[in-house]
Every structure is written in C-alpha cells, then in structure tokens.
Structure 1
Amino acid sequence: MDAGNGAPAAAYREQTVEIALGPQGAFENGNVGTLTRRVAADRVVSAVPPRRRKPKPPKVARTPRVVELLRKALEWQALLESGEVPNQAAIGRREGITRARVTQVMGMLQLAPEIQQHILSMPDAVRRPVISERALRPIVQLERPAAQLQAFEQPLPSSRPPRTRW
C-alpha cells in the first residue's frame, strides 16, 4: 500500500533513453543527453514513435469525366438512331438519370466536330481536367461552329465557384 488510498502499489521500472539533439547528433560539447522516466513494469515503451498511418497509394490516372460523357452521348445517339430506344426519357429510365440530364449530356453532340475530337483525345489524368462538361454548356449554345471554336480557344471559366474563407 503505497499511494495512501489503500490500493496496492503498481510495479514500476525506470526507463532510460539516450537522446541526441543537435546539429551532429549530439549536443555542442559532444555529450549525449539521457532521459529517465518511470513506466509501468508491464508496459512496452519505445523511444521511436510508431508510424501514424500508412502512406497513401499513388493516385491512378482516370479518364476525364467530360470524355466519358461525350462517349456516352455518342452511344445514346446511336441507340436513338437505331430505334433501340424511342426517346431520351427511355434512355434516362435505362441509365437511372433524369431526362433533363440526358438532354444536358446529349447537348455535347452540338459542339463543333473539332471540339469533340479534342475532347475525345484528352489523355487520362490524375488531377482534375481543365475542361468540364459544365464549362462547355455556354459554348454548346453558340450556333456557328466558328463561334464555338473561338469561344473554346478562350480560357474556360472554372466550373467550381472560388473558395471563400470566413
């Protein structure tokens, strides 16, 4: 009974760890410091802290979403032309999305062929691609292919609003 509260004293041991803190691994005078502390006898204590978490695996390059959407629009157009599906609402039911979303994606087919070719030739990327489907929507609204190309060559606005700090 050591603690004064009637509880038996826990078994302790002293742990001494040499520490070297300095530019060459020791203090300026060449001495290595020691740290002594009391630890529970049944506790395993390491001087080297464990790794906190595993390093993240490298990110895998993915096909940009705008490329996938344009491919899907071309596929849907082929389905409509073949008569396999009667209308865009049927495509929406089949894909599990709304008819309005089908219309948005199919709108990419109104882009100038040069722009479509540029989009389809985009390489896989690890980061967010420069071109997004949302940024292309105003370009789709332009009727003339020359106007679309001119607008496409201008820097596209970000599809995400700028971050604000509170």
Structure 2
Amino acid sequence: MTHIQAKFQTTAAARGQHRVTSPTAAKRPPTPRLPHVSKLMALAIRLDHLLATGQVKDQAEIARTAGITRARVTQILNLLQLAPDIQEAVLHLPPVTNGDIVTTERDLRTVLQSPNWSKQRQVWNKIGSAPPCSKTS
C-alpha cells in the first residue's frame, strides 16, 4: 500500500469554519491582468465603431443590450474625448497585479475635465502611474 503525504494550511473563515489551502498555492505570484481603464478604452472604441457603422441604433440600445444605464454608456464613450496619444497610452498601460498602483477611471475623468488636448496632457502627465505624453499641441 502506498501512502501519500501532503502539507496543508488552514485559515479561519466566516462563522468558525476553516479553509484548507495548499502551501504551494499561497506562494504563487498573482497573475498579471489588463488594467480596467485599458479595457474601458477598448470598449469605448468598439462601441463607437458599432454606432458609426449602424450595427446599433443608439446609446440607449447599447445600454439595454449590455444591461447598464445610458449614463454609464455615456461615461464610457466620453473616453473618446481624450487626446489620441492619451487614448493610445491608456490602451497600452502595462499589466497589473494586486497591489500595483494603477491609473483609475477617476483619473481619466479628471483629465477629461478639459476639452483642450494640451491641458489634458498636462493633467495626464501629473498622474503618478500614467506614462508621460510628450506632445504639446
């Protein structure tokens, strides 16, 4: 008869329960993932394409189909008002893991407060986790 030995760790869970985990699972590094704002920027570009080609009638149809509010669709599409180089920088933000400092949607809304692309770039360059934009016009 063969015996198998394994080490396990337990952690306290809700209501006095315990969770059993493998010690090797706890040591795995977190998987890098795309920043949420990069996904939103890509979604904005895709939604704009769907509207431009007539594949969807209007923002209300997008909202109904996606199960989100029309206001949320507007927030996402507003990302298209960013300067083109900022849009590109948002799309190419490096992958993040838990605990990384990331550019947030709130950061982008701050950038969007100015319709002037030069001013947008100034605000963007002040965001600590954002890659700098060098264009001045």
Corresponding letter in the other structure for 2:117: P
Instruction: Tell me which of 39, 56, 59 is aligned to 2:30.
Output: 59
CA RMSD of aligned residues (A): 2.0
Q: Based on CA coordinates, which of the two structures has the bigger radius of gyration?
A: 1
1:139 corresponds in structure 2 to 111
Alpha-carbon distance in structure 2 between the residues aligned to 1:135 and 1:50:
42
1:103 corresponds in structure 2 to 74
Structure 2 unmatched runs, 5+: 1-6, 11-20, 130-137
Written as runs of structure 1 = structure 2, the 5 A alignment for 1:1-166 is 51-52=9-10, 53-55=21-23, 56=26, 57-127=28-98, 128-155=100-127
1:124 deviates by 1.4
Structure with the bigger RCO (C-alpha within 8 Å, sep 6+) is 2
Are 1:64 and 1:129, in contact at CA under 8 Å, matched by a contact in 2? Answer: no
Tell me: CA distance 1:50–1:138, structure 2 relative to 1, closer, same or farther (3 Å).
Answer: closer
1:141 deviates by 2.0
- Normalised by the length of structure 2, the TM-score is 0.72
Corresponding letter in the other structure for 1:108: L
Tell me: CA distance 1:78–1:67, structure 2 relative to 1, closer, same or farther (3 Å).
Answer: same
More helix per residue: 2
Tell me: CA distance 1:88–1:54, structure 2 relative to 1, closer, same or farther (3 Å).
Answer: same
Equivalenced residues, count: 109
Alpha-carbon distance in structure 2 between the residues aligned to 1:96 and 1:156:
33
Alpha-carbon distance in structure 2 between the residues aligned to 1:129 and 1:107:
23
Tell me: CA distance 1:156–1:140, structure 2 relative to 1, closer, same or farther (3 Å).
Answer: farther
Are 1:135 and 1:156, in contact at CA under 8 Å, matched by a contact in 2? Answer: no
Structure 1 unmatched runs, 5+: 1-48, 158-166
Alpha-carbon distance in structure 1 between the residues aligned to 2:62 and 2:8:
53
Determine helix, strand or coil for the equivalent of 1:59. Answer: coil
- Normalised by the length of structure 1, the TM-score is 0.60
2:4 corresponds in structure 1 to none
Corresponding letter in the other structure for 2:84: P
1:130 deviates by 2.0
1:57-91 per-residue CA deviation (whole Å, 9 max, x = no partner) reads 43111011000000000000000000111111111
